[in-house]
Chain A
Amino acid sequence: MRKALITTFHQQRHTMIRQSSIIALAVTLMAGSAASSSFAGEVTDEQRKKIIDAAPEKAPAEVKQPRRLLVFSRTTGYRHSSIPQGVEAMKILGEKSKAFTIEHSEDPAIFTAEKLKSFDAVLFLNTTGDPAPDEAQRKALEDFVRGGKGIAGIHAATDAGYNWPTYGEMMGGYFDGHPWHEKVTLKVEDPDHALCKCFKGDHLEVVDEIYQFRDKPYSRQNLHILTSLNTKLTNMEKGGIKRKDGDFAVSWIREFGKGRVFYCSLGHREEIYWNPVVLEHYLAGLQYAFGDLKADATPSAEKAIKEVSHYQIGQPRDAFERLEGIVRTSLDDETKRAALEKQLVAVMADPNTTFEGKQFVARQLWIIGSDASVPTLAKMLDDDEMNDLARYAMERMSSKSVDDALIAALKSTQGRNRLGVISTIGRRGHEGAEEALMALAKNNDETGQAAVNALGLIASPKAARILNALPLNQSHVADALLQCGDAMLESGDAQPAKDIYQKVFNAGDLPKAPRIAALRGLISADPAGTVPLVAELLESDDAAMQEAAARFVRQIDDEQLINGFAEKLPSLPASSQALLIAGLSESGSGTLGPAFIKAMEHGTPAVRMAAYEGLARLQNPANAVPPLIKAAATANGEEAKAAESALTRMRGQSVADALAAAASDGSVNERTTAIEIIAARKDSSAAPALAKAAAGGGDIGVRVAALKALRVVGGAEEYPAVVNVFVTENDEQVVNNARAALVTIARRMNDDEAAAKPLADAMSSADDAKKADLLAALGSFDGDTAGLAMITAYGSNSPSVQDAAVRAMSGSNNTHVIDTLRKVAASGNDKHRALALRGAVKLIPRSSIKPEAKIDILAQMLKDTDDVNEKKMIVSSLAQVPHQKSLGLAKSLAQDESLKNEAEQAARQIEAALSQPPVATASHGQDRVGYAFDGNAGTRWDTGTPMRPGMWFMIDFHAPRTVSKITLDTRGSSGDFPRGYEVYAGDNAGNLGNPVVKSNDGSPVTVITFEKPVTAQFIKIVQTGSVDGLFWSIHEMTIE
């Protein structure tokens, strides 16, 4: 059995109350359960005192008779914890103002006609779910209100009765989420309204849940909105916002039958019930529901329309915005739309409506107008001031009544108004208006021209017939005819279209522009049949027709016809040759190649230039490469450049293949040109041909060009061939270019060990001279293989090989040879010592060993030499190892008079490096890295793409530094914190070893603390988590 909870509040002074409490007790007994006051106790004394203090002394309206309010708070869904405070507030509100007394119930059994009789209004206080499950209960309440009583709702009263449509209609809306629970500003829409005087102004700031209502049944067309959310002062980026009209009403009233409704969505939080302004609003609302307080309940839409109709420039325009929103929401509800349209049309018809008001309404009718608007709008067509507005509203409506009204208006209107009507008929494309327009079209004036133009816009066969009967000596008639022709052609009616085009084209009295347009039509309608005409025009001396014929050739989608034109090129005047080449080339068809080549070989300079540009645009032009290469190799400067440009830009594998073939065939000059073009095209598909051209036996110039080109396009495939040239060739120029090529290709291969191997292997069988070449190349590689080969060569008995090895090692970037270089520097011959020392001091700062170790080595080297120049070199190397220790060493060396300058310079350099601000780099968002350190939490670094494992953020202190804690502040985009991370620390950015911190845990402020402080030049944070849809961001980063 359902437990009934009934609480009565006795007010000893009032006998009425005693009577009703007896009734209430009876209800309780009927329900078979003991009455209990389960909530009263939950309101603390302190809260009660706050409510008593806040409640108004005086009701806004005179109490005509003692009023009884049923406070009903049944919940079958979410139960608000503030219900007891709400009930208590209602009790005190009534007591203190003496405006009413209450009875509280949660039992829907109270909804019978009999029991409701003793109440003046029912308040749904935070009801949720199903307030009245029984059909009879529902009807009793509906009848209660319809019969002239009141109903009120607070907060969740709209989160109830979803399966009781009349309840939703009556209460005014259904809850649809509460995007906000924060301090917001409400707009008092009507500050002078009887229920809004409590706000003493036009706004209220309040902290509470703010409701959003479903599109139905909430409507400003039914409700008189009292307060709403001021969206301009509210965060509108919140999740869950669904309404598109920005309309978030908070409180309202409406009439329902003979009864009255008041609703206010405030009332989620307990403290709302001791907010004096809200209590005053509740009280006024309840007095309205009782019938004590008279108030204007005109629906807001109607109010806005009235305001708009009176609008004059300079007045507030809130009503415009509201009405636009109402129009938008009416679009999905035919009943609402029709009702709104009716009201708007009435405003339009009202002679008292201002021009600005009508202009605005016309725009709304443009959106929602229908047949219902037409009689009113049609009357305005002969009003000089209103014609434009009426057409603005009507022109887009799909309605026969608009067509009829416009045709009628052709007769009733004059002058400018009639021109407007004609324009609108034309733009509507009204098939059926042709005859009405025909009479006007014959006029040789502005009206006639407008009618002809309209017939062109209608472009029906009938319009064409009428236009065909007019004298064809003016452009506008021709244009209208051409529009008809285009429409016919589009709908597959080629013959009549062609007739029109032919007629316009032949009309010699017309200016050239429409005849040119007719030519376009002729070519589109019958490409094959027009070939002789196009050819004739191209041969004529009419420049405009030449241009047009050449341009419209592109209308022809038939390769054979296009090639037919191309074949005619040599017989055409030079001026049209260039234009025709331009026109034809936009098809990109490779079969045009031979014709263009012929033009290039035999044309005038302008034609030749057009031919190069034309060839450049072709795809796989047949047989074009050899003659172009010839031109590029032999023509004068400008033409050679144009030929090169064409060769570089032509697309297609056949072009690449032909260039590859040309690289190995033809004169030296041509082969070289072909090879250079391949490089310019960056065409790696031709690389094998280049490797062949580079191989032994051929012309040195060609081989050098091929090697140079291989630097651009060569890959791992060509590498062995280049190495082979390098190993076997003796010509210095070839060897040097081969070395440059193999080094560049190896860099692209990005595998120094593999690249160095064939060179190292070749060492054993090479003679001394070749060994020197090989070593020069090996010096360019990093890694063990190259390092070992150089070290081994240094052990050779041959002084020239030893020499080459020292030179290679000292010039290299290979840190594997540092120890050997140090040995040479300590014990080799003088020439080697100098070279080796230079090499060693260059390599030591770059090596991956710890800075302290580098400094130790350099210090040792200083001890090992007495030569001042060598010492100076070592000091300059020391300058490149920023560290406190190197700084100390440099400073102490400055005591030595002979090293003073260099050591001081080194100390300055180290200090500068140490005091340099740290720099940060990141895998993503490098341009925004600075925002993580700009002291502004409003800006951020972010990855610009959802966080994924492997994303990183690295800091380079330039020298080791001790770090104990890193803080990543992401509060500005609180979802963007790392979901997991690893922190690395080290002195070699390329190898930071194992992570020093690992975590699977981040938060809007992520604090990374190290077990013990780390000292390192580089700190790198690597993302290990991932979240779809969220970037990784850092608003501010601090390092301690």
Chain B
Amino acid sequence: MNQRKRSTISRRRFVKGAAASTLAAPWIIPAASLGNANVVAPSERITLGLIGCGGMGNSNLGAFLGQNDCQVLAVCDVDQNHLERTRNRVNNHYKADVCKGYGDFRELIARDDIDTILLCTPDHWHSIPAITAAKAGKDIYGEKPFSHSHEEGVAMCNALERYGRIWQTGSWQRSLENFRRGAELVRNGRIGKIQLVEVGLPTGTTEQPSDQPTAPPPHLNYDMWVGPAPYRPFIAKRLHFNWRWQMDYGGGQMLDWVGHHNDIAHWGCGFDYTSPVETEATGEWLNNHVWNHPYKYLVTNTYADGTVIKMGSGHYYPMGTKWIGDAGWIFVNRGGVLQASSPDILKEEIGPNEIHLPRSPGHQRQFLDCVKSRRTTLTPGEVAHRSATPGHLGMVALRTGRKIKFDPDAQKIIGDDTAQRLLGNAFRAPWSL
């Protein structure tokens, strides 16, 4: 097969630039670019359009509505109810009828007056709007996991790179101090050489719904919702939030959370621009006509330097990231958890010439700052793609039952045509990458 020979287009200085930017401390917003701290002239505001008005869309929307140098101009959803509710929310916030609603993301992206896109669709609807937006010169804040399949992730990285767009991923844990501090201590060798990282992710649902297909409700454009994924008859339980339990639309809890605790694991190990060289996985699948996903899983990823990252459901590890080095361990989790094998490790200072991971003014805020300064964000496209890759490889290892060997530079599976196939799949017409 004449598949593409290369993976991502050249990053050249971009990688180095991103590495160098890690010394950033507090982000300083140039006063002149903000004008008066409270009132920002409309012409100076960054305009934003939201695609996907579900849970994450509304959660992120709240954060952006709170930024006074940002103006939400449009929202888009295939569910008319979600769309109207969200549009009203925006208009109520501005106390004016300023927000337009769209049922087709292409119309929203086509608007010249929209600078940035907030992309909060289900996983199977990440790559197409992201690439469309990049081609239209928009900057994008997109939800994790970066992409539904590995191949789509590579295509997204290339489009973002080619069009010079700013991208921030919803891997917001990087904006929290306990995760930053834990990763920084690990990165600077405070627990010695890393031997093993245990990444605990949630266990997937084991509920066995028996819902039968029905006609889609009139307020939903179901054909558009299915989009590039294989067509299945409408079952309400497969949509809002629950799409993640069906592999055609989501990636189970593993892909849902790979962009959080594994992203943090990568950050601490300095794996922002690399991938595993070997992946093995075991798991158990839930298999019914509504849902189909691995609810129990253990993925073992080995990197070129010998580091092993094990990523498992609740059957194996508590939620969070635990780096285990030859001189101790550090554990981080939500709720501000930062623990170490010895309290002295947490008292360690990071010297002036060591690696300082950037402190964030807030994940959405940092995106807006970078849109202005054109600097690289905390979680740019390729970093997010690399964080999700162990999940994609884990799925392939689960499906084939094989040990996968991977070339992190070419981003190809080595010597296993079957496994390589599973890194991507055909899109339903008329959609294409």
Q: Contact residues of A with B, CB < 8 Å?
A: 231-232, 236, 244-246, 313-314, 317, 320-321, 324, 328-329, 331, 356, 359, 366-368, 387-389, 391-392, 394-399, 402-403, 416-417, 419-420, 422-424, 426-432, 446, 450, 453-454, 457-459, 475, 479, 482-483, 486-487, 489-491, 511-514, 516-517, 520-521, 524, 544, 547-548, 550-552, 554-557, 578-579, 582-583, 585-588, 604-606, 609-610, 612-613, 616-617, 619, 638, 642, 645, 648-649, 651-653, 655-656, 681-684, 923-924, 926-927, 944-945
One of B7-15, B47-55, B87-95 contacting the partner? B7-15
Q: Could you list 12 A-B pairs, sorted by A, with CB under 8 Å?
A: A231-B284, A313-B289, A366-B421, A388-B428, A423-B430, A424-B426, A429-B2, A479-B135, A483-B162, A513-B137, A649-B23, A944-B329
A891 and B18 alpha carbons, distance in the complex (Å):
70
| A560 shortest CB reach to chain B, Å | 14
Q: Given contact pairs A396-B420, A513-B135, enumerate 20 new A-B contacts (beta carbons under 8 Å).
A: A313-B289, A331-B400, A331-B401, A394-B426, A396-B422, A396-B425, A403-B2, A426-B433, A427-B424, A429-B2, A429-B3, A457-B433, A513-B163, A551-B164, A557-B13, A588-B17, A588-B20, A613-B30, A616-B25, A645-B25
Q: Are A392 and B230 in contact (CB under 8 A)?
A: yes
Q: Which residues of B contact A586 (CB under 8 A)?
A: 13-14, 16-18, 20-21, 375-376
A512 and B115 alpha carbons, distance in the complex (Å):
13
Q: Which residues of B contact A317 (CB under 8 A)?
A: 287-289
Q: Which residues of B contact A520 (CB under 8 A)?
A: 161-164
Q: Are A588 and B16 in contact (CB under 8 A)?
A: yes
One of B178-186, B255-263, B347-355, B386-394 contacting the partner? B347-355
Q: Are B430 and A446 in contact (CB under 8 A)?
A: yes
For residue B56, CB closer than 8 A to chain A, the reply is: no
Residue of B nearest to A431 (CB): B2
Q: Are A490 and B351 in contact (CB under 8 A)?
A: no
Task: From A389, A513, A655, give the contact of B136 (CB < 8 A).
Answer: A513
| A381 shortest CB reach to chain B, Å | 10
Q: Are B233 and A419 in contact (CB under 8 A)?
A: no
Q: Which residues of B contact A944 (CB under 8 A)?
A: 322, 324, 329, 341
| B128 shortest CB reach to chain A, Å | 11
| A422 shortest CB reach to chain B, Å | 8
Residues 377-433 (chain B) with a chain A CB within 8 angstroms:
399-402, 417-418, 420-422, 424-433
Q: Which residues of B contact A682 (CB under 8 A)?
A: 349, 351-352
A767 and B328 alpha carbons, distance in the complex (Å):
51
A482 and B32 alpha carbons, distance in the complex (Å):
36
Specify which of B136, B210, B212 lies most central, judged by the most chain A CB atoms within 10 Å of its CB. Answer: B136
A548 and B136 alpha carbons, distance in the complex (Å):
14
Specify which of A244, A457, A489, A579 lies most central, judged by the most chain B CB atoms within 10 Å of its CB. Answer: A244
Q: Are B400 and A367 in contact (CB under 8 A)?
A: yes
Residues 284-326 (chain B) with a chain A CB within 8 angstroms:
284-285, 287-289, 322, 324
Residues 352-386 (chain B) with a chain A CB within 8 angstroms:
352-353, 356, 373-376
Residue of A nearest to B131 (CB): A479
Q: Which residues of A contact B343 (CB under 8 A)?
A: 926
Task: From A232, A395, A479, A605, give the contact of B425 (CB < 8 A).
Answer: A395
Residue of B nearest to A682 (CB): B349
For residue B24, CB closer than 8 A to chain A, the reply is: yes
Q: Are A617 and B2 in contact (CB under 8 A)?
A: no
Say whether, besides A586-B18, A610-B30, A419 and B430 are in contact (CB < 8 Å). Answer: yes
Say whether, besides A245-B401, A429-B4, A579 and B431 are in contact (CB < 8 Å). Answer: no
| A490 shortest CB reach to chain B, Å | 5
A424 and B349 alpha carbons, distance in the complex (Å):
54
A681 and B354 alpha carbons, distance in the complex (Å):
11
Size category of the binding interface on chain B: 35 or more
Q: Are A391 and B31 in contact (CB under 8 A)?
A: no
Residue of A nearest to B213 (CB): A313
Annotate B153-165 by CB proximity to A: 1 below 8 A, 0 otherwise.
Answer: 0000010011110
Q: Which residues of A contact B432 (CB under 8 A)?
A: 419, 422-423, 426-427, 450, 453-454
Residue of A nearest to B7 (CB): A490
A554 and B166 alpha carbons, distance in the complex (Å):
14
Q: Which residues of B contact A604 (CB under 8 A)?
A: 32
For residue B282, CB closer than 8 A to chain A, the reply is: yes
| A341 shortest CB reach to chain B, Å | 12
Residue of B nearest to A413 (CB): B429
A652 and B424 alpha carbons, distance in the complex (Å):
44
Q: Which residues of B contact A324 (CB under 8 A)?
A: 285
A424 and B1 alpha carbons, distance in the complex (Å):
12
Q: Are B1 and A399 in contact (CB under 8 A)?
A: yes
Q: Are A554 and B31 in contact (CB under 8 A)?
A: no
Q: Which residues of B contact A683 (CB under 8 A)?
A: 351-352
Say whether, besides A555-B12, A616-B25, A648-B25, A605 and B164 are in contact (CB < 8 Å). Answer: no
For residue B231, CB closer than 8 A to chain A, the reply is: yes
A457 and B433 alpha carbons, distance in the complex (Å):
9
Residue of A nearest to B373 (CB): A582
Q: Which residues of B contact A612 (CB under 8 A)?
A: 28
Task: From A244, A396, A656, give the contact of B352 (CB < 8 A).
Answer: A656
For residue B33, CB closer than 8 A to chain A, the reply is: yes
Q: Which residues of A contact B375 (CB under 8 A)?
A: 582, 586
Q: Are A516 and B28 in contact (CB under 8 A)?
A: no
For residue B219, CB closer than 8 A to chain A, the reply is: no
A429 and B430 alpha carbons, distance in the complex (Å):
18
Residue of B nearest to A400 (CB): B1
Residue of A nearest to B1 (CB): A398
For residue B6, CB closer than 8 A to chain A, the reply is: yes
Residue of A nearest to B18 (CB): A586
Q: Are A392 and B425 in contact (CB under 8 A)?
A: yes
Specify which of B13, B21, B342 lies most central, judged by the most chain A CB atoms within 10 Å of its CB. Answer: B13
For residue B203, CB closer than 8 A to chain A, the reply is: no
Q: Are A544 and B31 in contact (CB under 8 A)?
A: no
Task: From A359, A366, A547, A617, give the contact of B374 (CB < 8 A).
Answer: A547
A491 and B17 alpha carbons, distance in the complex (Å):
24
Residue of B nearest to A237 (CB): B315
Q: Are A927 and B339 in contact (CB under 8 A)?
A: yes
For residue B26, CB closer than 8 A to chain A, the reply is: yes
| B127 shortest CB reach to chain A, Å | 12
Nearest 10 interchain pairs by C-beta:
A586-B17, A420-B429, A588-B20, A513-B137, A606-B32, A398-B1, A423-B432, A396-B421, A244-B401, A609-B30
Annotate B162-191 by CB proximity to A: 1 below 8 A, 0 otherwise.
Answer: 111000000000000000000000000000
Q: Which residues of B contact A459 (CB under 8 A)?
A: 4
Q: Are B164 and A609 in contact (CB under 8 A)?
A: no
Q: Are A314 and B210 in contact (CB under 8 A)?
A: yes
Q: Are B433 and A313 in contact (CB under 8 A)?
A: no
Task: From A402, A486, A516, give the contact of B164 (CB < 8 A).
Answer: A516
Q: Which residues of B contact A582 (CB under 8 A)?
A: 373-375
Say whether, besides A388-B230, A550-B374, A313 and B428 are in contact (CB < 8 Å). Answer: no
Q: Which residues of B contact A551 (CB under 8 A)?
A: 164, 374
| B148 shortest CB reach to chain A, Å | 14
A645 and B425 alpha carbons, distance in the complex (Å):
49
Say whether, besides A423-B432, A457-B433, A428 and B230 are in contact (CB < 8 Å). Answer: no
Q: Which residues of B contact A945 (CB under 8 A)?
A: 324, 329, 341
Q: Which residues of A contact B376 (CB under 8 A)?
A: 586
Q: Are A396 and B1 in contact (CB under 8 A)?
A: yes
Q: Are A587 and B25 in contact (CB under 8 A)?
A: no
Residue of B nearest to A520 (CB): B164
A642 and B426 alpha carbons, distance in the complex (Å):
51
Q: Which residues of A contact B428 (CB under 8 A)?
A: 388, 420
Specify which of B231, B287, B329, B425 lies most central, judged by the most chain A CB atoms within 10 Å of its CB. Answer: B425
Task: From A394, A417, A490, give the contact of B6 (CB < 8 A).
Answer: A490
Say whether, besides A399-B1, A513-B135, A548-B164, A392 and B28 are in contact (CB < 8 Å). Answer: no
Q: Which residues of B contact A638 (CB under 8 A)?
A: 31
Task: From B5, B20, B289, B426, give the contact of A617 (CB < 8 A).
Answer: B20
Q: Which residues of B contact A231 (CB under 8 A)?
A: 284
Specify which of B9, B164, B349, B351 lies most central, judged by the most chain A CB atoms within 10 Å of its CB. Answer: B164
Q: Are B233 and A313 in contact (CB under 8 A)?
A: yes
